[in-house]
Amino acid sequence: MNTSNTQYKINHRLIDVFKSGKIFNQTIGFFLHDDDFSSPGLFFEIVITITQKYDKSTFSDIDRNDKILLPENPNLILYLQGGPGFGCSIPTEYSGMTKILLDEGYQIVWMDQRGTGLSEAFEYSTFENYEISSIGEQFNHLLKYRADYIVQDAERIRQYLIGDNKWTLLGQSFGGFCCFSYLSKFSNSIKQVLVTGGIPPIGFSVDEVYTQTYKRTKERNLHYYEKYPIDVKRVVEICSYLKENKVLTPNGGNLTVERFQQLGLNFGGFGGTDKIHSIVTKFYLEVKQKAKPSYATLSLIQESLSFDTNVLYALLQEAIYCENGMSSQWSADRLRYAKGNEKFIYNKEQIFFTGEMVYKSMFDDYSELRKFKELAYELHEYKNWTNLYDIKKLKSITFGEIPIVAATYYSDQYVDFSLTQQVKEKYIAPGNLRQFITNELFHGGLRTDPDKVLGSLFKLLDGDID
C-alpha cells in the first residue's frame, strides 16, 4: 500500500451513539499517528459517523461504549464532503439522501476530513497548540490537509472497519476530487464510485480552471440582473457607499467592495440569486433610511460566507488544482483583470459579483484570515506539490472493474461542464464515467433533489441508462 512514506498507527474511541426511529448512528474518533511529522507524537483525530438502519439483532450491544457495530456482511459507502474545509452534516432523521442510501442497502460512513467537523479542528490555535511557530513549519503542517492525505486517512479507516473488503465512494464537489485521488492510490479498495458535481479538472492549469470559472460566474450575474434589473443601480450605489465609508462586520472584519462582491458565491446554490437580492434590497434601503446598514444586515453578510469559520476553504482553494510543479500565483486575483472581466472590478455602470474565488484582499478583510496572511502568500507561490492523480491508472480502470458514475450539472458555477467533458475524453477509460447530465439542477443538486440525482446514478450503475 502506497502511503507516501508516511507510517500510521490507529486506534479508536466511541464518541456518541444516536438512535431515532429507523436510523442508528455511531460517532467514532480514530487516532492516526503520523511519524512523518517533525514533532514526535503529533497525530490527527479523524471522526466518522456510521449511519445504519436500526435492527435489534445487529445492535444488541448498543449499550457497550467501545464496540463498533456493523452487520455481518457490511456494505459501506464512504461519503466525501465538498470543500475543502467543510465537515459533514450528520443525519438525525430517516429522510433525504440518508433514506435513499439506507434503502439501497448501504451503511453510510460520513467522514469529517482533516481539520473539519468533529475531527480535530484546523484554526490558528492549531499552530499554537503544537508550538508550530515559523512560517516554514506552519506550511509543512498545512500540506497534510491535502486530498492525498485525506484518502490515506480514509484507507486506514476502511482497513480498520472491514479489513480486505471493499467499499463504495460517494463524493460531492471537492469530495469527488478526493474520489479520483483515492482511485489513483488505492483502487483495489474500491467497489464503485459515485460523484456529484465533482470531476476534477485533471491536466488543466489553475489559470485554465479560473478562466472557465469567471465565464460561468459572468453567466450567473447576467441571469441575476435579468431577474432583478433594479439591482444594477442598487449594487453600484452600495459599492460606492462601501468605497467611501469604512464598514466593519460584527466580528471586526472589513466589509469592502471586494468582500461584498463575494456574495456571488451563493449564485451556485439553489435559491442563491434570491438570497443575494434580499441582502441587496435590505442594505440599499437601510443606507437610504439611516445612512448605514443595520447590525442584522452586517451579521447576515458575515454569515453568508464561510471563510472565517472554515479557513481551510480559503487557504487551499487554489491548491486543490495544483500538482506537477504548478504554482497558482493567485490565479483568481490575477484573472480578475483579464480582458472581458472588467465588470468584476468596481465601476459606476454595472458591477458583477464574484464566485468561488480567493483574493489577496480576503486576508485583510476577514478577521480570522488575517492571521494566515503570510502563510497564504507562501501557499500561492509554492510549486512542489505532490501528485494527486495517476493518469495511467485512471485510463486503465474499466467499468467492469470499478464503475464510475457521475451527476454533471450543465450550469455548474464551481465545476465547469466543458472541462469535465474534456477530462472524461482524455483521462478516463472509454465506457467508464457514465454520466447523468442535467440543466435542471445546480452544484448542490445532491442536496436539492437526492431522489433524482442518486436514482439516476443507481440506474447508471445497473446499466439501465447510458
For residue 55, what pLDDT band results from cuts at 50, 70 and 90?
confident
What is the share, in percent, of the chain residues with pLDDT greater than 70?
Answer: 94
For the chain, residues classed under CATH 3.40.50.1820 are 8-203+388-462
The CA dihedral of 187, 193, 197, 199, to the nearest 10 degrees, is 30
As a whole number, the mean pLDDT across the chain is: 92
34, 148, 412, 449: the catalytic one is 412
For residue 66, what pLDDT band results from cuts at 50, 70 and 90?
confident
How far is residue 169's CA from residue 334's CA, in Å, rounded to a whole number? 35
Cell numbers 444586515: residue: 297
- 263-280 pLDDT, tens per residue? 999 998 888 999 999 999
Question: Is position 33 annotated as part of the catalytic site?
Answer: no
Q: Which amino acid is at 429?
A: A
- 156-172 pLDDT, tens per residue? 999 999 999 999 999 99
Grid coordinates representing 419? 472541462
How far is residue 251's CA from residue 248's CA, in Å, rounded to a whole number? 8
Q: Dump the DSSP string for 193-225.
A: EEEES----TT--HHHHHHHHHHHHHHHHHHHH
- 363-399 pLDDT, tens per residue? 999 999 999 999 999 999 999 999 999 999 999 999 9
Q: What is the CATH number of domain 8-203+388-462?
A: 3.40.50.1820
pLDDT of residue 465: 58
Question: Is position 464 annotated as part of the catalytic site?
Answer: no
For residue 414, what pLDDT band results from cuts at 50, 70 and 90?
very high
For residue 464, what pLDDT band results from cuts at 50, 70 and 90?
low
For residue 238, what pLDDT band results from cuts at 50, 70 and 90?
very high
Contacts of residue 199, defined as CB under 8 A and 6 or more positions apart, other chains included, come to 176, 180, 406, 408, 415, 420, 423, 424, 433
- 84-138 pLDDT, tens per residue? 999 999 999 999 999 999 999 999 999 999 999 999 899 999 998 888 989 999 9
pLDDT of residue 9: 61
173, 181, 189, 331: the catalytic one is 173
pLDDT of residue 280: 98
- 188-229 pLDDT, tens per residue? 999 999 999 999 999 999 999 999 999 999 999 999 999 999
pLDDT of residue 268: 87
Neighbours of 76 (CB within 10 A): 21
Which of 10-19, 215-224, 309-318 is predicted with the least confidence, judged by mean pLDDT? 10-19
pLDDT of residue 43: 76
For residue 58, what pLDDT band results from cuts at 50, 70 and 90?
low
pLDDT of residue 322: 96
Return phi, psi of residue 191, to 5°.
-85, -50
Q: What is the average per-residue pLDDT within 135-164? A: 94
Question: Is position 12 annotated as part of the catalytic site?
Answer: no
